[in-house]
A and B are shown apart, each in its own frame.
Chain A
Amino acid sequence: MYKTDLSVTIKSLKMKNPVMPASGAYDYFENNANVFPMDILGAIMLKSIHRRARPGNKPPRIAEVSAGMLNAVGIPSAGIEAYLRDNSLARYRELNVPVIVSVSGDQPQDYVETCRMLAGNPSVDAIELNLSCPNVGTGLQLATDEVLLGRTVEATRLVTDFPLIVKLSPNVTDICKPAVIAQDCGADAVTIANTFMGMKIDIKTRKPFLGNTTGGLSGPAIKPITLRMVYQAYQKISIPIIGCGGIMSAADAIEYILAGATAVQVGSGNFVNPMLMKEVIEGMDAYLAENHFEKLEDIRGAAH
């Protein structure tokens, strides 16, 4: 199928290619289901499952901005117990692709409890801790508080054997600090990064446009910044980095690999182009082949 070796391994998580959706950015079962077969993806990532049920934020939740969008969705979730009760994770297993469950909570203990409940679940291949949603209630982002970040990663590490990915916040001065803390506290990989906190004001009403006042900026607008963060973190940590931010083409994804990313996530680009992840996978393979590389590994971090 591929002309080159695109495979990626993060502990026991084995992916045939490095491309997966960012959490909350793809519909696997209905309208997008026939656009391309889901099993071409390296992995699928679930919308964050919160510890407890949450309705999400009041609308409007979406605002378009230059070269991107703001979202203030606020993790609407049935809560982990409802997921387990309905066995709703099992349907993801049927997609025949590794399943990464994104988990979220209001406090460190929430993550521990959710990971404990997921222990040994046959429908799960890895866990991503969403410690960086800018839109949940208190505005507290666990990934921006070094003490809370360390405590949360350490505590969840103790209760899960699944590969543990920590999704970091870009809303920090130096991404290397939280990246090193995540590594030192037992993370198997970090995702760099979640959305940047931003806002839009409606000049007709003269009030914030989004129901939540602020939202998370995603899209091509943020790519140079998250790319820089991946580049910097790669110099400081040895665990794999999953690059996430503004990928709109295979070329964007290749830049992340050159900066040092092991894998990539595609977020709001999926909304604009439902075929994007397929194009990214094929485009990376073609790029490697055209440039006479045998495997993705050969170009990882090559920009350093």
Chain B
Amino acid sequence: MYQNCTVVRNTTICPGYGRIVVSAPEISAAALPGQFVMTKYWDGNSPFLLRPFSINAVDRNAGTIEILYKVIGEGTRLLLRLKEGADFLILGPLGNSFPLNPNFSRIGIVGRGVGAAPMRFLAEEAVKQGMEVFVYVSASKEEYLFDRQYYQEMGAHFIGSCDPDKMVTSFLEEDLISKHFDAAFTCGSNRLIRDIKRLMDIYQLEGYASLEAHMACGVGACKGCVCTIYEDGEEKYAHVCKDGPVFPIRKLVK
């Protein structure tokens, strides 16, 4: 879908971080956890490319989607300035989604800081499907443990850490010793992906990661956003926008 939508709310969570709520009923109804949107919310050709964002949450009753963002460059600086009622073009929802197998009874979700943005939507769906959800998030500061309240309200177990000496996966590992998890989900960081692969091998669980990449079109046309995957004993390129953004971790780590 390619739709002109409207900003409902845009709030600064803490300096440099914001949350925007956009009225997009059809996109909100169709979106699956892990999918992303290409967006344009400025006039003219500068910046040039659409901006991809993961979907942080959907409210299907209100017909909205939420995006959690960090101000990094020109695109997000413009995003921070958007006011209620502003135009917000969306192409999406795009890409595949996190596979929530109905047989899963307990899952772990692992992320760091704003990189964990797509995980709230995933946790919400998993809780709705009756799964027990453990969310492990690390950050450099307490205030960057985003969405804590949402996770707690939806009934997920939230484990947040700002300990610089402990990798966030170590909290999952502590729980893996006493409990069986069917799958672990993460996004972004190669370091987390590699460590989850280690846990997958020891504790026999499935693992999925959502990747980010520089992309131009978001729909598979430009062939720009490739990542390396390992499939059938071969190393090959896959497109983050269309083959992903979610990949089984066993395909990402040799």
A-side residues, CB < 8 A to B, are 24-27, 30-32, 34-35, 47, 55-56, 59-69, 71, 73, 76, 219-220, 248, 268, 270-272, 274-275
Interface residues of B in 1-37 (CB under 8 A from A): 1-2
Interface residues of B in 184-234 (CB under 8 A from A): 213-227
Q: What are the 6 A-B residue pairs with the smallest beta carbon separation, nearest first? A: A31-B219, A62-B224, A27-B221, A271-B217, A271-B216, A61-B224
B-side residues, CB < 8 A to A, are 1-2, 40, 45-50, 91, 94, 213-227, 236-237, 242
- In the bound complex, how far is the Cα of B223 from the Cα of A245, in angstroms? 19
- In the bound complex, how far is the Cα of B50 from the Cα of A63, in angstroms? 12
Which residue on chain A has the smallest CB distance to residue B215? A62
Q: Given the known inter-chain contacts A272-B49, A275-B2, please indicate yes or no for A30 contacting B225, CB distance below 8 A.
A: no
B48 pairs with A64, CB closer than 8 A: yes
| A62 / chain B contacts, CB cutoff of 8 Å | 214-216, 222, 224-225
A31 pairs with B49, CB closer than 8 A: no
How close is B224's CB to chain A, nearest CB, in angstroms? 4
Which residue on chain B has the smallest CB distance to residue A62? B224
| A69 / chain B contacts, CB cutoff of 8 Å | 48-49, 216
| A59 / chain B contacts, CB cutoff of 8 Å | 213-214, 225-227, 237
Name B's interface SS: loop
Which residue on chain B has the smallest CB distance to residue A25? B221
B221 pairs with A270, CB closer than 8 A: yes
| A219 / chain B contacts, CB cutoff of 8 Å | 45, 48
- In the bound complex, how far is the Cα of B215 from the Cα of A61, in angstroms? 8
B47 pairs with A25, CB closer than 8 A: no
| B215 / chain A contacts, CB cutoff of 8 Å | 62
Which residue on chain B has the smallest CB distance to residue A246? B45
- In the bound complex, how far is the Cα of B94 from the Cα of A62, in angstroms? 19
How close is A216's CB to chain B, nearest CB, in angstroms? 12
A31 pairs with B236, CB closer than 8 A: no
| A26 / chain B contacts, CB cutoff of 8 Å | 221
A56 pairs with B242, CB closer than 8 A: no
User: Known pairs A31-B242, A67-B48. 19 more at Cβ < 8 A?
Assistant: A30-B242, A31-B91, A31-B219, A32-B219, A55-B236, A56-B223, A62-B215, A62-B216, A64-B47, A65-B48, A69-B48, A69-B49, A71-B216, A71-B224, A73-B224, A270-B221, A271-B218, A272-B49, A274-B2
| A27 / chain B contacts, CB cutoff of 8 Å | 217, 219-221
| A73 / chain B contacts, CB cutoff of 8 Å | 222-224
How close is B71's CB to chain A, nearest CB, in angstroms? 17
- In the bound complex, how far is the Cα of B227 from the Cα of A280, in angstroms? 34
B221 pairs with A55, CB closer than 8 A: no
B223 pairs with A67, CB closer than 8 A: no
| B48 / chain A contacts, CB cutoff of 8 Å | 64-69, 219-220, 268, 272
| B218 / chain A contacts, CB cutoff of 8 Å | 31, 271
- In the bound complex, how far is the Cα of B46 from the Cα of A220, in angstroms? 10
Offer 25 A-B interface pairs, CB within 8 angstroms, sorted by A. Answer: A27-B220, A30-B220, A31-B218, A31-B220, A34-B1, A35-B2, A47-B221, A60-B213, A61-B224, A62-B216, A62-B224, A64-B47, A66-B48, A68-B48, A69-B48, A76-B226, A76-B237, A219-B45, A219-B48, A220-B45, A268-B222, A271-B218, A272-B48, A274-B91, A275-B2
| A32 / chain B contacts, CB cutoff of 8 Å | 219, 221
How close is A227's CB to chain B, nearest CB, in angstroms? 16
A271 pairs with B226, CB closer than 8 A: no
- In the bound complex, how far is the Cα of B217 from the Cα of A69, in angstroms? 11
- In the bound complex, how far is the Cα of B196 from the Cα of A60, in angstroms? 25
Q: Given the known inter-chain contacts A220-B45, A272-B48, please indicate yes or no for A30 contacting B219, CB distance below 8 A.
A: yes
- In the bound complex, how far is the Cα of B220 from the Cα of A67, in angstroms? 22
B45 pairs with A271, CB closer than 8 A: no
A61 pairs with B226, CB closer than 8 A: yes
A63 pairs with B221, CB closer than 8 A: no
| B47 / chain A contacts, CB cutoff of 8 Å | 64
Identify which of B94, B216, B237 contacts A55 (C-beta below 8 A): B237
B222 pairs with A71, CB closer than 8 A: yes
